[in-house]
C-alpha cells in the first residue's frame, strides 16, 4: 500500500485511541478538537462529503425515520420501555439538549462521517477496490477501542458492532454518492440511543403512539 493510504489509516486510529484521550478534555473540548481534526483530515486527504446531495438527503431521511420509528415502538411497549429505563445513564455532564443537539451531531456524527465515509473509505476504495470498503469499516471499528475501554464496554463486541455499522454507512454512501445519507442514519441511531433511556425514565412523558396500519 502506498504511503498516503497508510497515513490516512494510521492518523484516525492514533487520534481516537491515543491522542484525544491523552488530552483529557471535557465534552466541549472533545467536540471542538474532534471537529478541528476531522476538518483538517478531510482537507489533507481531499475528502468529498457532497453534503448537498438530494438523493443522499432522501435516503438518509428514510433510514433515519425507520430508526426513530423503532425507538418510538420500544418506548410504546411496556416491556422494552422498562428495559430502556433500567439502562445506565452514561451521558456527559451537560444538559440533554446540548448533548443531542451539539455534541452528538458535531463531535461524533459530523467528524466520523468526514473522516471515514467522506475521506478514508473512498481513498481506500481507489487503492484497493471493494476490499477498501471493508478496510475502511474495520478502521472505523478499531477507532472505538479506547472509547470502549473507557466506558468499560466489551472491546471485541464494540469493534465488531461498529465495523458492521461502518459497512452499512458505506453502503449508503456508495448508493447515494454522498455522506449525507449515512450521517442522518448515524445521527438517528446515536441521538435516539441517547434520548430513549432518558425518556423511558421520565414518568411524565407518555409513551409515543404508533401509527395505525392502513387497511
What is the predicted pLDDT for the residue at 204?
A: 56
In 3D, which of 112, 139, 99 has the Cα closest to residue 37? 112
DSSP 71: H
* Nearest-angstrom CA–CA distance, 179 and 8: 18
24 CB burial (10 A radius; 0-12, 13-18, 19+): exposed
pLDDT of residue 213: 41
Instruction: Please say whether the beta carbons of 180 and 105 come within 8 A.
Output: no
Residues in Cβ contact with 129 at an 8 Å cutoff, skipping those fewer than 6 apart = none
Contact call for residues 17 and 143 (beta carbons, < 8 A): yes
Residues of the chain with pLDDT below 70 are 1, 204-215
Task: Render pLDDT for 79-89 as a digit per residue (tens, 0 to 9).
Answer: 999 999 999 88
Residue 71 grid cell: 425507538
The predicted pLDDT at position 2 comes to: 80
Distant-in-sequence contacts of 73-81, Cβ < 8 A, 24+ apart: 73/210, 74/196, 75/196, 75/199, 75/200, 75/207, 75/208, 76/207, 76/208, 76/209, 76/210, 77/207, 78/207, 81/200, 81/207
Q: How far apart are CA 143 and CA 214, in angstroms?
A: 44
Q: What is the pLDDT of residue 215?
A: 33
Amino acid at each position: 500500500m502506498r504511503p498516503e493510504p497508510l497515513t490516512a489509516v494510521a492518523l484516525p486510529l492514533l487520534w481516537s485511541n491515543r491522542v484525544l484521550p491523552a488530552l483529557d478534555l471535557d465534552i466541549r473540548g472533545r467536540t471542538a478538537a474532534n471537529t478541528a481534526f476531522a476538518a483538517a483530515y478531510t482537507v489533507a486527504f481531499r475528502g468529498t462529503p457532497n453534503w448537498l446531495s438530494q438523493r443522499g438527503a432522501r435516503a438518509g431521511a428514510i433510514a433515519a425515520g425507520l430508526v426513530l420509528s423503532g425507538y418510538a415502538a420500544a418506548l410504546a411497549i411496556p416491556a422494552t420501555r422498562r428495559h430502556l429505563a433500567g439502562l445506565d445513564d452514561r451521558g456527559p455532564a451537560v444538559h440533554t439538549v446540548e448533548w443531542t443537539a451539539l455534541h452528538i451531531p458535531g463531535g461524533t456524527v459530523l467528524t466520523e462521517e468526514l473522516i471515514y465515509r467522506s475521506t478514508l473509505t473512498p481513498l481506500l476504495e481507489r487503492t484497493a477496490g471493494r476490499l477498501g470498503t471493508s478496510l475502511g469499516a474495520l478502521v472505523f471499528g478499531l477507532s472505538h477501542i479506547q472509547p470502549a475501554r473507557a466506558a468499560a464496554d466489551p472491546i471485541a463486541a464494540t469493534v465488531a458492532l461498529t465495523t458492521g455499522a461502518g459497512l452499512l454507512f458505506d453502503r449508503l454512501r456508495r448508493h447515494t454518492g454522498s455522506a449525507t445519507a449515512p450521517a442522518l442514519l448515524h445521527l438517528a441511531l446515536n441521538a435516539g440511543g441517547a434520548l430513549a433511556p432518558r425518556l423511558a425514565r421520565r414518568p411524565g412523558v407518555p409513551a409515543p403512539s404508533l401509527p395505525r396500519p392502513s387497511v
